[in-house]
Amino acid sequence: MGKRAKINKKRGERRERAKLRTDGINPNEEVLASEESVEEAGVTPQASTQPEEHRARLKRAPKTNAEEEEPNAWERMNAFFSEVKIEAKKINWPTRDDTWKSTWVTIFVILFLSLFMGLASFGMSRFADRLFNLSSNIPAATAPVDPGSVPTTVPTSPPPFPSGDY
């Protein structure tokens, strides 16, 4: 057998042992096919590597008693609340001073962000008003002209903002 074949054989054995361990079976445990003891048989037992044999052995395992079944609802709730009590004792509660400091930091952050968002909203609305009121600086269209009359322009309203340098 070559070197590569030996390596592949060892890998296969390792995979098989890992598969057996995931099934809850100890792969080093030796199982005899018959009921005879090792001394009577005169044969050294071979480790079983076949998953079917291990599954059959698991099926022969003793069943749990009816008494060991799942606890009733009251017992589960009692266990849950007792665990909650134990976990609550492990909590590192903040001191009164830490709580007040955190509260004031929260209040100041909220005030700062509301002021910032209000100013940003006001500035954006002013920018949008100026952007969309650019058409008010354009002269209005002339009124329809009657034959033989002098054309006049339609009076326009003053712009909403004073003109000038910004």
Q: pLDDT > 70: what percent of the chain? A: 51
CA pair distance 68, 82, nearest whole angstrom = 21
Ordered by start, the domain boundaries in the chain are: 1-58, 96-131
How confident is the model at residue 36, as a pLDDT? Answer: 47
Of the candidates 8, 32, 1, 27, which has an alpha carbon nearest to the alpha carbon of residue 16? 27
For residues 31 and 35, give the distance between their C-alpha atoms in angstroms, rounded to a whole number. 10
Which burial class, exposed, middle or buried, applies to 94 when counting CB atoms under 10 A from its CB (0-12, 13-18, 19+)? Answer: exposed
Residue 84 and residue 82: Cα distance in Å, rounded? Answer: 5
H helix or E strand, kind and range, residue 69: none
| Contacts for 16 with CB less than 8 Å, ≥ 6 apart | 27, 49
- Which has more confidence, 63 or 36? 63
Confidence grade of residue 19 (pLDDT, cut at 50, 70, 90):
confident
pLDDT greater at residue 123 or residue 64 = 123
What would the pLDDT profile of 111-154 be if each residue is shown by its tens digit?
A: 999 999 999 999 999 999 888 886 555 555 555 666 666 656 65
Mean pLDDT of 51-59: 64
Cα separation, 64 vs 75, in Å, equals: 19
Q: What is the mean pLDDT of the chain?
A: 75
Each residue of 88-99: pLDDT tens digit?
A: 999 998 999 999
